Structure 1
Amino acid sequence: MAVLVAVGQALAALVALVLGSVVVNVAWQLLAPRDPSKPPLVFHYVPVLGCAVSYGMDPLGFLEDCKAKYGPVFTYPLLGRRITAALGPLGSNFVLNGKLAHVNAEEAYTHLTTPVFGTEVVYDVPNHVLMEQKKFVKFGLTTDNFRRYVGLIRTEVRDYINKHVYLENTRKTGSGIDAFNTSSEITILTASATLQGSEVRAAMDKSFAQLYHDLDGGFTPLNFVFPNLPLPSYRRRDRAQLKMREFYVSILEKRRNSLDEPPLDMLTALQNQQYKTGEPLTDKQIAHIMIALLMAGQHTSAATGAWAILRLGENQDLQRRLYAEQFEHFYDADKGEWRDLEYETLQTPLLNAFIKELLRMHPPLHSLMRKIISDCPVPATVASPSAEPHASPEFKKRNEGVEYVVPKGEFVLAAPGYSQVDESIWGADAKNFRTERWLEGSKVPGEEDEGEEDYGWGKISKGGKSAYLPFGAGRHRCIGEQFAYVQLGVIIATLVRENSWTLDQAFPGNDYTTMIVMPAKPRNVTFTKREGVKA
């Protein structure tokens, strides 16, 4: 009895403490004088936890609500962190093209990526070293390689569909297959057959799949917030990372000891590279770069491929039109057979428009963060009322010409995914999937020529002011962008040529419980093999 009383008293004290902290937190927000040099703070009840629940359930909806109340620049607390969102194209440019003296991507993400990718690469190294590593990777992303990859990707897609999809349809009559699982398996097979190399493709058995699964378990929001918890999944992540590194190193050693000409793949491109200092790229670093390419590319491409399958399953007319386009461009009526897909002719008008709209509506990463390493001024143009026509009159009066400062140690967030569906930018149909918008000759809002810059891995468009940034902008723009278009284009064209499919339920919503935005379950489709070829 005494124990129960003690437990009850402890619980009562805990409840009183929580309620007291809520009361103090609310009173502070309502009564404390506001620092005009800082962005408006989003109202929240629970300290530390902050806006985690509302942001985690629907991040884009949360950002939209806050923008209506506070304008395009505001700060919200999230699990002990203070994050300043800078919305709109100008906000994206401010964050993604920010000065290295002020914003830092490495410190924002290294606690998540380094345990998965490995040390001495990506965000575990200074920015100038990362730029050199991206240049090394670019050597494996040549036009000649892309030409070879087209045929390899097509073969993998056909083999997978024939061996797995139709068999599953037979086993589960009427239930269809999971679009994301199908896309994920096709993506990793096509990536391993091209970028990763023949040895990796040959090892795509249960043991390698388990390694990938265990390593993938370390790429979740929980790992981002709490990178070093004493949990079994964390230990499995660490063991898998070590074994996968050893796997790649063993391939490198075998290639060196072989008299055969090495294959033209990413491993070959990375071998014998050296930094500007003359220091060689080590086997360990090569292995970790390969893991980074596998993990980062797999997540984003698998999600995009799943959305593609679902969108075409939902829109039968668009699926038929894509098939008709393939027939028009690639079917040889005299020989009665399909011509091979080729890199130079892959991006037909409708297919290209469909992929663009897919990435507009379903970017794998809706938001990108940087850590502030030195007090960072936010230009008045980013937070001005002219940047947000829907801001409240109070905000407009208060913030006209104001330049905020985000303190060192906090974070800034750009949300290209929000800009890509913003009705004030794209019009009333911004949230509707409409492929035709890319066939009408209209330009992407804000995509004026901003010039090019070489960050150490070749000249690219700075492009941060664009309202369409599915691959990011600036020095951290995704280096795999061109490969992603090739991979996705070949997968869609191959599926459409040889299959038709239908969506088995209503179109799914977004699943925000993972680091990449995936379609929520159920997300099933039913494939049917095309019989013959029809115009």
Structure 2
Amino acid sequence: MGVVDSIADLVLQTYQSFLTLTLGQQISIIVLAPFVYNLVYQFYYSLRKDRAPLVFHWIPWFGSAVTFGMKPYDFFEECRLKYGDVFAFVLLGKTMTVYLGPKGHEFVFNSKLADVSAAEAYTHLTTPVFGKGVIYDCPNARLMEQKKFAKFALTKESFKTYVPKIREEILKYFVDSDQFELKTRTSGIADVMKTQPEITIFTASRSLLGEEMRKRFDSTFAQLYGDLDRGFTPINFVFPNLPLPHYWKRDAAQQKISSAYMGLINKRRETGDVDPKRDLIDSLMTHSTYKDGVKMTDQEIANLLIGILMGGQHTSASTSAWFLLHLGEKPELQEELYQEITGVLNQKGGDINDLTYEDLQELPLVNKVIKETLRLHMPLHSIFRKVKRDILIPNTNYVVPTGHYVLVSPGYTHTSERFFPNAEEFDPHRWTSAESSVSEDAGTVDYGFGAISKGVSSPYLPFGGGRHRCIGEQFAYVQLGTILTTFVYNLKWTLTTEKVPNIDFASMITLPEEPAKIKWTKRSTASI
């Protein structure tokens, strides 16, 4: 007890001495103390050989949040040049250990469940948006089975039926939207940050959720998804719930969309009108019993539907916006696409309305444009996992302690000259020769939702990897391919600015900075 008494006496004496100071002196100490502690902590940290080098920062708690948040790829490259591929930085009170490049992909994506957790990293961010009991608000085994349930609607046979439905929605949008109005106008200006989120949500709802649910999706409903989307921001990552307007809108949107899904589910339950081949809603109502015999509740099905649509919304809305902007800068590439599309259609003796799922597979340049867009603009610039127990970084002495985070950035690798020559150049033709150098046949593994590639050491991973790899990759190509071919066949366009907009990293999605507009003219072959 002697040591404890001595410490208590020292604390008491320090406090009494503090009280004798003037108010100005007390305030100075209170303000300066965190800065002093921050510097002492960083000095102590730098002496440890079992920790990744820590990026120096002056401001306590905030750490490197500003530089990381504004230009993450530039931040990563500056740190790599100074520290190497492995380093750590403080982000709003959290210590993030970064491992750049393909070896980092392997380390994070193939880490064991016992070592790292995506759920603990993201659940406070995703649960208010998707709802309870799904995605990261459930055990990992449940999530893997939920992915398997959803894959019933992501088959080749389903994709064949989706293509004409997606195209029909785009053509209808060309007529109805004030950005186009193709029945009465032959030219105009379209804001891709308005058109692409709407086109994405309309086409996804029509193809995945069916015509009955699509009829409920108007611009107001699309706005609700926009309110949900704004729930994925850095401030939400740190503070899941604050008394601020965008939090209130997020919660209201979640309740309204969930209620709309529940209304249709209840109607079909009551009437017995359930056909598992009709749409994803009926498929989940039929195929949603876990291996242990527990069934998903209808509310959980509604919540999962939100999660599935939101996942595709991010990828397809941002990717289609970006390829419209890049093609607006390259009219010669538009013409090359047009010739490829019409070449296939001429062989069939038809127009764009005759383009099928099988035809999309025979359009190499269309698919290369999508692939190149995903390389240059991976929707999520950083992917986190929370460390559950101390883990050693392979081939180093660095240990990432429990409670810290590991971070990987395929988007950084995609845009690095080390892996892609002329990385900043939008060049779909690079994939003609580069395809073999970035693919890796490492066999497959099944985490519970179907076989996927084990290989995550590739420098190109636009849909992530491992057990949390996006299951919507093939659907994304179908949706994006149909959007791209329909635009190219009906319109020509250029940018309204001198160059493609810069990336806005303010949210967690890599979107173009405003203004992001195209000047379009109607083609003579337009089907409207």
Structure-2-length-normalised TM-score: 0.90
Contact (CA 8 Å) 1:343, 1:486: kept in 2 or not?
yes
Question: Which amino acid in structure 1 is aligned with residue 167 of structure 2?
Answer: R
1:114-263 equivalent positions in 2, closer than 5 A: 114-164=127-177, 165-167=179-181, 176-205=189-218, 207-258=220-271, 260=273, 262=275
Question: Which amino acid in structure 1 is aligned with residue 248 of structure 2?
Answer: R
Deviation, 1:426, is 2.0
Question: Which amino acid in structure 1 is aligned with residue 470 of structure 2?
Answer: C
How many angstroms apart in 2 are the aligned matches of 1:172 and 1:10?
71
Q: Which residue of 2 aligns with 1:283?
A: 298
Question: Which amino acid in structure 2 is aligned with residue 323 of structure 1?
Answer: Y
SS, match of residue 443 in structure 1: helix
Q: Which residue of 2 aligns with 1:418?
A: 412
233-242 or 498-507, which moves further after superposition? 233-242
87-96 or 250-259, which moves further after superposition? 250-259
1:81-120 equivalent positions in 2, closer than 5 A: 81-120=94-133
Question: Which amino acid in structure 1 is aligned with residue 69 of structure 2?
Answer: G
Q: Which residue of 1 aligns with 2:87?
A: 74
SS, match of residue 90 in structure 2: strand
The 1:438–1:172 alpha-carbon spacing in structure 2 relative to 1, beyond 3 Å, is closer
Offset from partner CA, 1:340-374 (integer Å, 9 cap, x none): 11112203111111111111101101211000001
Q: Which runs of 5+ in 2 are unaligned?
A: 1-21
SS, match of residue 437 in structure 2: coil
Question: Which amino acid in structure 1 is aligned with residue 508 of structure 2?
Answer: M
Contact (CA 8 Å) 2:170, 2:486: kept in 1 or not?
yes
Contact (CA 8 Å) 1:330, 1:339: kept in 2 or not?
no
Q: Which runs of 5+ in 1 are unaligned?
A: 1-8, 381-401
The 1:503–1:204 alpha-carbon spacing in structure 2 relative to 1, beyond 3 Å, is same
Offset from partner CA, 1:120-150 (integer Å, 9 cap, x none): 0000011111001000001111111100000
Q: 1:25 aligns with which of 38, 50, 60?
A: 38
- Name the count of aligned residue pairs: 501
Q: 1:431 aligns with which of 378, 402, 424?
A: 424
How many angstroms apart in 2 are the aligned matches of 1:530 and 1:16?
70
Q: 2:449 aligns with which of 450, 454, 457?
A: 457
SS, match of residue 354 in structure 2: coil
Q: Which residue of 2 aligns with 1:389?
A: none
SS, match of residue 162 in structure 2: helix
Deviation, 1:432, is 1.5
Q: 1:514 aligns with which of 484, 507, 512?
A: 507
SS, match of residue 419 in structure 2: helix
SS, match of residue 95 in structure 1: helix
How many angstroms apart in 1 are the aligned matches of 2:267 and 2:71?
48
Question: Which amino acid in structure 2 is aligned with residue 452 of structure 1?
Answer: T
User: Is 1:299 matched with 2:321?
Assistant: no
**Structure 1: which 4+ aligned runs deviate by more than 6 Å?**
9-13, 168-174
Contact (CA 8 Å) 2:180, 2:190: kept in 1 or not?
no
Question: Which amino acid in structure 2 is aligned with residue 507 of structure 1?
Answer: V
How many angstroms apart in 2 are the aligned matches of 1:360 and 1:281?
36
SS, match of residue 430 in structure 1: coil
Question: Which amino acid in structure 1 is aligned with residue 405 of structure 2?
Answer: F
33-42 or 120-129, which moves further after superposition? 33-42
Deviation, 1:532, is 3.6
1:267-282 equivalent positions in 2, closer than 5 A: 267-272=281-286, 273-282=288-297
Deviation, 1:225, is 1.4
1:350-499 equivalent positions in 2, closer than 5 A: 350-380=365-395, 402-427=396-421, 429-440=422-433, 442-445=435-438, 447-499=439-491
Q: 2:335 aligns with which of 306, 313, 320?
A: 320
Deviation, 1:521, is 0.7
Deviation, 1:430, is 1.8
Question: Which amino acid in structure 1 is aligned with residue 494 of structure 2?
Answer: T
144-153 or 29-38, which moves further after superposition? 29-38
Contact (CA 8 Å) 1:169, 1:527: kept in 2 or not?
no
How many angstroms apart in 2 are the aligned matches of 1:336 and 1:452?
40
Question: Which amino acid in structure 1 is aligned with residue 468 of structure 2?
Answer: H
SS, match of residue 167 in structure 1: coil
Question: Which amino acid in structure 2 is aligned with residue 253 of structure 1?
Answer: N
Offset from partner CA, 1:50-89 (integer Å, 9 cap, x none): 0001001101110110011011111100100000001110
SS, match of residue 166 in structure 2: helix
SS, match of residue 467 in structure 1: coil
Deviation, 1:217, is 3.2
How many angstroms apart in 1 are the aligned matches of 2:62 and 2:34?
12
Contact (CA 8 Å) 2:151, 2:471: kept in 1 or not?
yes
Q: Which residue of 1 aligns with 2:523?
A: 530
Q: Which residue of 2 aligns with 1:349?
A: 364
How many angstroms apart in 2 are the aligned matches of 1:12 and 1:433?
58
Deviation, 1:166, is 2.4
The 1:295–1:32 alpha-carbon spacing in structure 2 relative to 1, beyond 3 Å, is closer
The 1:23–1:319 alpha-carbon spacing in structure 2 relative to 1, beyond 3 Å, is same
How many angstroms apart in 2 are the aligned matches of 1:374 and 1:157?
49
The 1:442–1:292 alpha-carbon spacing in structure 2 relative to 1, beyond 3 Å, is closer
The 1:326–1:15 alpha-carbon spacing in structure 2 relative to 1, beyond 3 Å, is farther
Question: Which amino acid in structure 1 is aligned with residue 294 of structure 2?
Answer: E
12-21 or 298-307, which moves further after superposition? 12-21
How many angstroms apart in 2 are the aligned matches of 1:74 and 1:339?
52
Question: Which amino acid in structure 1 is aligned with residue 458 of structure 2?
Answer: S
SS, match of residue 444 in structure 1: helix
Deviation, 1:507, is 1.0
SS, match of residue 55 in structure 2: coil
How many angstroms apart in 2 are the aligned matches of 1:90 and 1:40?
18
The 1:490–1:338 alpha-carbon spacing in structure 2 relative to 1, beyond 3 Å, is closer
Deviation, 1:230, is 1.9
Question: How much identity, in percent, do the aligned residues show?
Answer: 49
Contact (CA 8 Å) 1:169, 1:177: kept in 2 or not?
no
How many angstroms apart in 2 are the aligned matches of 1:142 and 1:33?
52
The 1:12–1:248 alpha-carbon spacing in structure 2 relative to 1, beyond 3 Å, is farther
SS, match of residue 456 in structure 1: coil
Contact (CA 8 Å) 1:444, 1:468: kept in 2 or not?
no
How many angstroms apart in 2 are the aligned matches of 1:417 and 1:85?
13
Deviation, 1:420, is 0.9
Offset from partner CA, 1:254-307 (integer Å, 9 cap, x none): 112336563611111101320001111210111010010122211221001100
Structure-1-length-normalised TM-score: 0.89
The 1:499–1:23 alpha-carbon spacing in structure 2 relative to 1, beyond 3 Å, is same
